[in-house]
A and B are shown apart, each in its own frame.
Chain A
Amino acid sequence: MQTTTLILLLGFMAIAGFYFGRGRSLALVGGPGHGSALHSLPGYYGYFVAIWSVLPALALLLLWVLIEPRVVVALVISGLPQSYQDLSAGELNLLVNNIQNLAAGDVVSVDVDEVLQNAAAMFNNYVERSRQMLAVLALGFAGMGGAIAWNKVNPDLRARNRVEGVVRWLLIAASSIAILTTIGIVLSVLFEAIRFFQKVPLTEFLFGISWSPQTAIRADQVGSSGSFGAIPLFTGTLLITAIAMVVAVPVGLMTAIYLAEYSSRRVRDIAKPLLEVLAGIPTVVYGFFAALTVAPWVRQTGESVGLQVASESAMAAGLVMGIMIIPLVSSLSDDAINAVPSAMRDGALGLGSTRSETMTKVILPAALPGIVGGILLAVSRAIGETMIVVMAAGLAANLTANPFEAVTTVTVQIVTLLVGDQEFDSAKTLAAFALGLMLFVVTLVLNVIGLSVVRKYREEYE
């Protein structure tokens, strides 16, 4: 039976459970007119039965779907002849893939022999049986749970409290998913990164100045070990981030000041949504624009004044990234400026200072912590930005501070190392996770500081 059909059936059972539970509670007190003799509203008895019929079955279903593939594969392997079972893990993996493809009727990469044919048949057979078992068990669970709950229904049952207790636990579970995500991120990058550092020492990764992760196929070839010094990636990331900040911070800050202090209402009503549009454009679109329009323009302009410009210069990526970040800087600065009490502003203006003097000598100093917090968040955003640099920055890991040369960044390297099929335990693939760990840690520190500064500052003036 298909899983979706099963879930639909369970849904029907829940609805049926609801009506049975509700009906029984009312029947016990002698009809709808006597509802006040019940502890809870009749509907809660219905929910009570529905929950007990569906939740256990759904839990079983989830567990089953997660475990089933492993069990089936293990069973199929144990059914293969001994010569196949002695294969290495990698070859066995390939074999299992082929069996699965064959079972699904897809194209198979090797000649199909009798063993493979049998294994595929066995695979289908096991899956079929597992599905039947699951359907019987799940529906049995649902029926039994519902029956027990239905049996428990009586006028004194505290149905509302029971149901609310379950709902409360569901709410807690939902809110802990955020924590689980963080733990998942940390664990997944940490484990792979530790495996990477077993192959490449941490000091070489952090302080090495040569990055060429392409390892040769045979051990005796030149460059067989690859080199994993990440300094050129860090400097490349910082260079592009710095260019982006040089664009975004002054422009974003001045925009916020202009819209808050100078512009007429009409201009503000038009300009603000337009800038929000800027924030809503997908980064892949910015990347396309950077690569196809801005990069050639930068190159032409640079060459017309006699500069050597690489076609994938850091400048183009940085400029476009800066534009992308303008709305972030300007909205966070706007918040910070608006949080300054108007008494300070009025006082400065009352003493005869011009508006620009009020702004630069009174409001900006007072809003500085909030603005700095916002800038930290913007830096974190720029460091983690992927698509723009993947499409507009280069792949060559140059150690340079020249914005007109091609540089590469941490995110670009993660993408290039992980896109496509490769073996999962090579230093090359694991390096991506080590870079991911660096990226996560750095952005996390920036975010924590930035967010707490912004928040604390906001509270201070409230």
Chain B
Amino acid sequence: MSDARTTLEKVEAGLARRRRKEATFRILGMFATAVGVLFLGVFFATLIAEGASAFRQTFMQLDVELREEVIAPGGELDLVYADFDGIVRSALREQFPDVSGRGDRRQLYRIVSAGAGYQLRDMIAASPDIIGTTQTVWVPAASNVDMLAKGNIDPTIDESLRPLSDKQIGWVNELQEAGKLEQRFNKALFTNGDSREPELAGIQGAVMGSLYMLIVTIALSFPIGVAAAIYLEEFAPKSRWSDLIEVNINNLAAVPSIVFGLLGLAVFINWMGLPRSAPLVGGLVLTLLTLPVIIIASRAAIKAVPPSIREAALGLGASRMQVVFHHVLPLALPGMLTGTIIGMSRALGESAPLLMIGMVAFIVDVPGSLTDPATALPVQIYLWADSPERAFAERTSAAIIVLLGFLLLMNLAAVVIRKRMERKW
């Protein structure tokens, strides 16, 4: 019976099943695409939800009495050894006169940041004539108070499970009701170096470290990468040697970045004796890391320049070097710049090789030169992510937002250059 079926019948018999399969396949494809996009959405949502609050910081108002005998004993201004913390403490005692007993007082002192004393010192250094007066200042609250104010510490759970005691929460509430607790823009996040105290920790040191590294990287990798691309594309004879270089560059682009870190450690630090943790060494390692990317992009840009341009220039009597530098290079430059910016954005986000060359040290000072110990923005993120304090998690997200912001800007610049300057032949 089945033999008697016509081809058409056979096809039609299977058609429903085949259409079902087709639909399933299509849905699978849609689902797969959605996975990536969905992850991106969840990722950014969590990041912003987590990090947005770090851009604000809780401050508390204190009436500090800048007594002359503490700050300038004997009329001599003594900014180094004066007991500014003592002034802050007495202001707190003034604020809460009924707190007594050593234990309670110590708890009281902990609701204000350790940076309050430094703030007073800087104030007095800026205008010494306020000595002897009583000033109303806003000082940063301790990170636990900050977390409480932002709702990250639940005051209803058992006292032993949270970092703030019932008494401390009571004092904070008292301040809150008196209008002496306020959330303000967290300037410290952008102007401070790293710190053990979350409320004082900032990314400026890391940003400067990254900036110095990128300066070294771009100063070396752009000229070298473009020169290498020119040679390989325009001058290299087709030989085993140039094949080897070609294969080699493609492979280098895929070598794990941590291996470049090992190279940096062995060659730049142990063999050449360059300083550890320095942006100079980081920049050199990142140069080697980004060179393949830049060379590949630059070669593609040179390849895209039509041969007719070269032939016309050669026909008019230009030497090959003149053809390249007067005609090919200017036309290929937008593509090269785009490739370089993409290489730089890769360098900016790289952290594994930097761990190898000692850029993970805890460094408070903002680096001032290429050989000062420094850290980089992604490494700072890694360091903060490892810190147990709740307040650092929030700051890590904020630092990530800043890093992604920089990367976004760089990629936008690449897109703009491509759109603006690219020519279609």
Interface residues in A159-196 (C-beta closer than 8 Å to B): 160, 164, 167-168, 170-172, 174-179, 181-182, 184-185, 188-189, 191-192
Query: A443 contacts which chain B residues (CB < 8 A)?
Result: 254-256, 259
Q: B96 interface residue, CB < 8 Å from A?
A: no
Chain A 263-283 interface 0/1 with B at a Cβ cutoff of 8 Å (1 = within)? 100010001001101101111
Q: Knowing that A178-B245, A251-B36, A414-B258 are A-B contacts, what are 12 other residue pairs whose CB atoms are under 8 Å apart, sorted by A's residue number?
A: A164-B321, A168-B231, A189-B263, A271-B37, A289-B43, A357-B18, A357-B22, A386-B355, A411-B352, A433-B266, A443-B255, A444-B251
Cβ-defined contact, B19 with A354, below 8 A = yes
Cβ-defined contact, B245 with A176, below 8 A = yes
Cβ-defined contact, B259 with A175, below 8 A = no
Q: Whole-angstrom distance from the CB of B384 to the nearest CB of chain A? A: 9
Q: A448 interface residue, CB < 8 Å from B?
A: yes
Query: A168 contacts which chain B residues (CB < 8 A)?
Result: 231, 235, 321
Query: CA A411 – CA B262 in complex, angstroms?
Result: 11
Cβ-defined contact, B345 with A280, below 8 A = yes
Interface residues in A289-328 (C-beta closer than 8 Å to B): 289, 291-293, 323, 326-327
Chain A 352-365 interface 0/1 with B at a Cβ cutoff of 8 Å (1 = within)? 10111101100000
What 7 pairs across the A-B complex have the smallest Cβ distances? A384-B256, A258-B29, A282-B349, A188-B266, A254-B32, A174-B227, A356-B25
Chain A residues within CB distance 8 Å of chain B: 66, 69-70, 160, 164, 167-168, 170-172, 174-179, 181-182, 184-185, 188-189, 191-192, 250-255, 257-259, 261-263, 267, 271, 274-275, 277-278, 280-285, 287-289, 291-293, 323, 326-327, 330, 352, 354-357, 359-360, 377, 380-381, 383-387, 390-391, 411, 414-415, 418-419, 424, 432-433, 436, 439-440, 443-444, 447-448, 450-451
Query: CA A255 – CA B265 in complex, angstroms?
Result: 40
Partner of B351, one of A69, A284, A359: A284
Cβ-defined contact, A258 with B263, below 8 A = no
Partner of A170, one of B30, B227, B257, B385: B227
Q: Whole-angstrom distance from the CB of A234 to the nearest CB of chain B? A: 15
Cβ-defined contact, A359 with B25, below 8 A = yes
Query: CA A415 – CA B350 in complex, angstroms?
Result: 14
Q: B382 interface residue, CB < 8 Å from A?
A: yes
Give the residue among A258, A282, A385 with the most B Cβ atoms within 10 A. Answer: A282
Query: CA A70 – CA B274 in complex, angstroms?
Result: 11
Cβ-defined contact, B231 with A172, below 8 A = yes
Query: CA A285 – CA B398 in complex, angstroms?
Result: 11
Interface residues in B41-56 (C-beta closer than 8 Å to A): 43, 46-47
Cβ-defined contact, B40 with A278, below 8 A = yes
Query: CA A367 – CA B162 in complex, angstroms?
Result: 58
Count of A-B residue pairs with CB < 8 Å: 255
Give the residue among A182, A284, A352, A451 with the most B Cβ atoms within 10 A. Answer: A284
Query: B345 contacts which chain A residues (CB < 8 A)?
Result: 280
Chain B residues within CB distance 8 Å of chain A: 11, 18-19, 21-22, 25-26, 28-33, 35-37, 39-40, 43, 46-47, 223-225, 227-228, 230-232, 235-236, 244-245, 247-252, 254-260, 262-263, 265-267, 270, 272-273, 288, 291-292, 295, 319, 321, 345, 348-352, 355-356, 360, 378-379, 381-382, 385-386, 393, 396-397, 400, 403-404, 407, 411
Query: B260 contacts which chain A residues (CB < 8 A)?
Result: 185
Partner of A255, one of B11, B36, B321: B36
Query: A275 contacts which chain B residues (CB < 8 A)?
Result: 36-37
Cβ-defined contact, A284 with B378, below 8 A = yes
Cβ-defined contact, A282 with B407, below 8 A = yes
Cβ-defined contact, B32 with A387, below 8 A = no
A-B pairs with beta carbons under 8 Å apart, 12 shown: A170-B227, A171-B227, A189-B266, A258-B30, A271-B33, A285-B404, A289-B47, A323-B35, A354-B22, A356-B25, A357-B22, A386-B258
